[in-house]
Structure 1
């Protein structure tokens, strides 16, 4: 009888483990994630989208507020590396238009510039892979795009960037949120 209980117990345990494993596999989506590492517990974020067959990606550091509101403390004219540690890298395999300004396909570091008050800009720089501050040489800035600024109701503890397809006509949308600040811009092919 004891032998049958041991066999039954080990069989039941094996079935339970198999059911849990199968449940994990069945719960996974086969569709690729557009914001693959944008969960609240990671120090790096990676966004990859396909816009009308063209690849666009952003790899960035995700600092936490830790009781600080870094964007609110930024002085006028301050240029920040848009993340933490290694500079944020924006890649596009096609030219993009930000309003009437053209960003030539390629890889760039991206920066956030506090112009003054609620005026902010997205800066593209030709230097990539820069670690920490003081950052890129400003003479290598190739494009400065105005952000639209607004406040959000929910506090976002970890710096977050999202890039999405805005529509089926080749328009994209970038949103940066941290604390209760939201910076947005749109682009097109």
Structure 2
């Protein structure tokens, strides 16, 4: 009886171990997730804003194909980009309450429209609803001296706050954030 119990225990242990080793993990995402925050120093825990987004690559394609002018874009890849303000701010020229929002954009030639939307956990812009928009502001378009293969978001220090900068290819889109 003791041998049967030991054998049963061994069988269950081996079965459990084989199912653990059989776990399959996905490969690396083609558009990896990234985070940009301001202040940018990792030593400064008193953040004003954080953006979580995925970074699509151009891979020989042009920006207009991937983020068409005049159409709502998820501002990255995969899930819609999310922006969290840890305190009330002025985003562009509009007052925004602390909280988390989806960030959509509408690309344009000289300006992009940046949209904060209250619907979270959206995949792309497929379920985007403009009725859930909190604010829309304009971002200025300029041309960078180098081409960025991967869509990127960063912050620059400016007088009175920060400047949100989005870049892809040679396009640079800037919008001020003041707390």
| TM-score over 0.5 (shorter chain) | yes
* Offset from partner CA, 1:93-118 (integer Å, 9 cap, x none): 1111135411111000001112x432
Match of residue 107 from structure 1: 100
TM-score normalised per structure 1:
0.69
**How many equivalent pairs are there?**
146
Distance change >3 Å, CA 117–CA 86, structure 1 → 2: same
Where does structure 1 differ by over 6 angstroms across 4 or more consecutive aligned residues? none
CA distance in 1 between counterparts of 2:31 and 2:80 reads 16
**Pick aligned residue for 1:131 from 115, 123, 133:** 123
Distance 2:53 2:67 in 1: 19
User: Which residue matches 1:49?
Assistant: 38
The Cα of 1:172 is off from its aligned counterpart by 1.2
- Please tell me whether the aligned partners of residues 148 and 185 of structure 1 are also in contact (alpha carbons under 8 angstroms): yes
1:24-58 CA-to-partner distances (Å, cap 9, x unmatched) read xxxxxxxxxxxxxxxxx971111123499443210
Partners in 2 of 1:63 and 1:74 — Cα distance?
11
Q: Map 1:144-163 to 2 at 5 A.
A: 144-163=136-155
Within 5 Å, give how 1:167-186 maps onto structure 2: 167=159, 169=160, 171-186=161-176
Structure 1 position 187 matched with structure 2 position 177? yes
Question: TM-score scaled by structure 2?
Answer: 0.73
Q: Where does the alignment leave 5 or more consecutive residues of structure 1 unmatched?
A: 1-40
1:67–1:57 distance in 2 versus 1, CA, 3 Å: same
Alpha-carbon shift at residue 87 of structure 1 (Å): 0.8
User: In angstroms, what is the RMSD of aligned CA positions?
Assistant: 2.3
Q: In 1, Cα distance between the equivalents of 2:162 and 2:123? A: 28
